[in-house]
A and B are shown apart, each in its own frame.
Chain A
Amino acid sequence: MMKPRIILDSKHFEITVTRLCYQLIEVHNDFSNTVIIGLQPRGIYLAKRIQAKLQEILKKKDIKCGSLDITFYRDDFRKKGLVPNRTEIDFIIEEKNVVLVDDVLFTGRTIRAGLDAMLAFGRPNDVELLVLIDRRLSRHLPIQAKYVGKTIDSIISEKVVVEWKETDKGDKVTLISN
């Protein structure tokens, strides 16, 4: 096994999240008609981080952020034996602009399931996708992110690992090749 390559260290991680927030503000202004939805299990950390940073920059406390579990919408649950996580969306997404958030955009299948799952909560006005890492050469479906932390070229056998200070030792993104 080759040595893991660091894609984002904790300093660049912070800079990237801050940049994503300013890009969101460019489009969504004060977030009065926009909500954030993080995809379970790993997208919720980025969603929460972005919510906190936006509240700090915009000096407001009411930016809405939910978490969405997509287990029941996946096309591969019978192959993998997946355990569902919590869905917590305590606001209405009807007519709202929704920013879907996930950590890594890989084949696009998770996002496909996420779009289906989200529609069970109403008909949003506009849906955008934000990801921390875009593995751009690995897509199986025609899905692109509007906001991207970092784009990387990787082959399918390689693995991107995103670590969060909330659950791991610190903020870090590494590429592991087998």
Chain B
Amino acid sequence: MTALSTKHLLGIKDLTPDDIHLILDTAESFKEVINRPIKKVPSLRDITIANLFFENSTRTKLSFELAEKRLSADVINFAASSSSVKKGETLIDTVNNILAMKVDMVVMRHPNPGAAVFLSKHIDAKIVNAGDGAHEHPTQALLDAFSIREKLGSIKGKKIAIIGDILHSRVALSNIFCLQKLGAEVMVCGPTTLMPKYIASLGVKVEHNLRKALEWCDVANMLRIQLERQDIKYFPSLREYTMLFGLNKEILDSLSRKIVIMHPGPINRGVEITSDVADSDQSIILEQVENGVAVRMAVLFLLAGRG
């Protein structure tokens, strides 16, 4: 297999297992590229990419921008906070105006679920979803899968626990789709109030006890508590959340085996994970960030390659 089955990357749900393997294998080649003395290849020198961020982001935006520049693409950046969106322009108008400047690909983050799918139906350029509300964040899931594969050799048959705020998390949903397509067992763990009602219908195990989840898994993916998305109180206090669902060194060291710790960032140190765990040798949080650039290069390269 040498090409993706899809024209856009809107979500992991639309990808086949072959697509995911192709992206991860290609990312391996790009990881070698970004560790060279000259970390740049000319593959996309005739492509212009617009990064449209209608919602705040540091890591994902930087990572995409770096990936685009390492592929020699021309890049334009757009942040909603400093744009005509504030003046009442619609999404399609904004994007069509940008495309009129001859842009080939659009990387978009948007607070509304389905924004990327909506855009793909109305405009001509290739779309990469960089997170749409609480729906999907496909490149994060791909880089998580890449990091697990790199650390453990393969994903098939591995047990991965996603712990924390599942309800507001696009990372959780994309990770569930991605890991299941690659043959892993997935468990979600968190307070009942932060657990979507029908989550078990996705074929994941549901657990409300942190220790049980940690004893079960090979990899624990600790999610951030998304206070900015919580318009009502989902738990009595952060302190209580940390007591029940925060990962600290004491729990980690008391487990019967060494598990791998991941976090999509940004970390609330001392809330879902303590500093000594985040910085321990079991954590691959910074590897995830490095792999993010390689995986995004692979996604952009493969989508551009699809005529």
Contacts and interface: CB of A to CB of B under 8 A. Distances in A.
A119 B36 CA distance: 11
A84 B32 CA distance: 11
Given A78-B304, A87-B32, A120 B43 contact: no
B37 A84 contact: no
Interface of A: 69, 71-73, 77-87, 116-117, 119-122
Interface residues of B, number: 19
Interface string B1-40: 0110000000000000000000001100100110011101
A84 B304 CA distance: 15
Interface of B: 2-3, 25-26, 29, 32-33, 36-38, 40-43, 71, 301, 304-305, 307
Contacts of A81: 2-3, 305
Contacts of B26: 83-84
Contact of A86 (B32, B36, B41, B307): B32
B8 to A, nearest CB: 16
Determine which residue in B25, B40, B42, B304 has the highest number of CB atoms from chain A within 10 A of its CB, and name it: B42
A116 B38 contact: no
A121 B38 contact: yes
A80 B43 CA distance: 13
8 contacts: A69-B29, A71-B29, A81-B3, A83-B2, A83-B26, A86-B32, A87-B29, A122-B37
Contacts of A82: 2, 305
Nearest to B301: A72
Contacts of B71: 72
A96 to B, nearest CB: 14
